[in-house]
Amino acid sequence: MLHLQPKKLPGLMESIGMLLVIVSLISFFIIELQSVPHVPILLAVLLMITYGFIKKFTFAQLQEGMVQGAQSGMGAVLIFFLIGILISSWMASGTIPALMDVSFSLAGGSWFLAIVFTITAITGVALGSSFTTSATLGVAFLGVAQSMDASLAMTAGAIVSGAFFGDKMSPLSDTTNLASTVVKVDLFDHIKNMAWTTIPAFIISFILFAVLSPQQRVQSENLATIHNALIESGLVHWSSWIPVLVLLAMTVTKRPAFVALAVSSITATLIAGLRGILPWSELWSTWFGGYSASTNNDMVNEMLSRGGIDSMLFTISLVILALALGGLFFVTGVIPSVLFHVQRMLQSVRTITLSTAFTAIGINVFIGEQYLSILLTGEAYQDIYDRANLARKNLSRTLEDAGTVINPLVPWSVCGVFLADVLGVAVIDYLPFAFFCLLSPILTILYGLTGKTITKKA
């Protein structure tokens, strides 16, 4: 968005002052008033328009900034539509239930915490939602922990770690798509590049959870009931794996994410229709309204009733508003002024990576919103990475390592408040045991300091 900056930039202290006012406004509404982020962001937009009028900008100039800002996120918006469709079609074809069935088959042995971490990670990748994974499987596993007299704090840490592994690595995740799209990186290139930090973090976390696990074997009627309900739903079928194979084939052949998700969605829908899961008219309706499961298990129904374009409208509207605010930051010169004064310090891989990571972490801590940590940091730093001849996939990886997975560790954040409420474990209690979330930013900072796995622009 640097092309939006005015000819004359405001002073550094004035720019920092405006940013602090906006951050304070959004933080107050989200943290104190428990408001959805849309409201304070819209108020921030109105405040920035007022600031623009004071600085003698015309409304046409300010509107152009908002339009250009929102336009930069249209790729993400289109992808979000397809994510909603993919989730509903994968539900109807039995693809996601099949993936969940595989995860339940792993539920055995004496490494309870490691098993919890692994199953929630697989389910998180299948669902693409840390919230759904935590609110369904997470609650079930906490019941198991209570019956085993295991540590609820450690169990919650394993649940959060696994759920946000899925939120970070799933092609169905809104944050994964947002991080890649906002800095214009191919979705699957982004996911592959994240493996450099994610796989070591997963392995170390698994070992730590295995060491901390109680000795008794995992036995739970609750988990067995969920497993049986998945089988009895009639959704799990050999053909359920075809949409996954189609998506993998499209990925290997380097098709655009939009095309890959669309082809896999259509394939899944046709499979569901040919199997008679739903009448054709109802099946196509799930593309907007989502799939609604009707098994004998309420928890399974909650897990499987998801998807559709409608489910993505909350995220889409938030992205458009946040990017419009970003456009105002740039067209009024607020962010370009700050970048102009700090860009001389951001010349090396080390300083750029550290600054990116701490900016994303700071937005999570001060605002408590993971989408904004990705959007604002991504928009502010992508031109800096270009000037340093660094591939933008380095930026998108850092946005996830220091943005997506940090939010559940902040007690007043959107994720922190939700998880503490649904799991019944305070954030401060599970925080020391959310190993994956703690390791991801540490590894990305270490790679930045050493230059390892940092890719130059082709």
> Residues 6 or more apart from 140 whose CB is under 8 A from it?
220, 222, 223, 226, 299
> Residues 6 or more apart from 414 whose CB is under 8 A from it?
30, 37, 368, 369, 370, 407
Nearest CA among 29, 72, 35 for reference residue 320:
72
Residue with token string 């036995």: 219
Kindly state the percentage of the chain with pLDDT values over 70. Answer: 91
The Cα–Cα gap between 86 and 69 comes to 27
**pLDDT tens sequence across 119-168:** 889 888 877 778 777 866 777 777 677 666 778 899 999 999 999 998 89
Domain ranges of the chain: 75-312
Nearest CA among 371, 287, 306 for reference residue 73:
371
89 touches 268 (CB < 8 A) = yes
The Cα–Cα gap between 128 and 168 comes to 8
The Cα–Cα gap between 111 and 383 comes to 46
**pLDDT tens sequence across 167-220:** 898 887 888 888 888 888 888 899 999 999 999 999 999 999 999 887 666 555
Nearest CA among 71, 74, 149, 156 for reference residue 113:
156
Mean pLDDT over residues 256-281, rounded? Answer: 88
pLDDT value, residue 249:
85
Question: Taking all residues of the chain, what is their mean pLDDT, rounded to a whole number?
Answer: 83
Q: What is the maximum alpha-carbon separation in the chain? A: 70
CA distances from 271 to 90, 242, 267, 289, 312 (A): 10, 9, 6, 19, 24
201 touches 439 (CB < 8 A) = yes
> What pTM value is reported for the model?
0.72
Rg of the Cα trace of the chain?
Answer: 22
Select the highest-mean-pLDDT range: 22-31, 250-259, 327-336, 425-434.
425-434
Mean pLDDT over residues 6-24, rounded? Answer: 84
**pLDDT tens sequence across 34-60:** 788 888 889 999 999 999 999 989 999
Mean pLDDT over residues 280-294, rounded? Answer: 88
The pLDDT-based confidence of 456 (bands split at 50, 70, 90) is: confident
The Cα–Cα gap between 276 and 21 comes to 56
The pLDDT-based confidence of 79 (bands split at 50, 70, 90) is: confident
Write the DSSP assignment of 201-214 as a string of letters: HHHHHHHHHHHHS-
pLDDT value, residue 217:
60
For residue 218, give both structure tokens: 């995992």
The Cα–Cα gap between 16 and 10 comes to 10
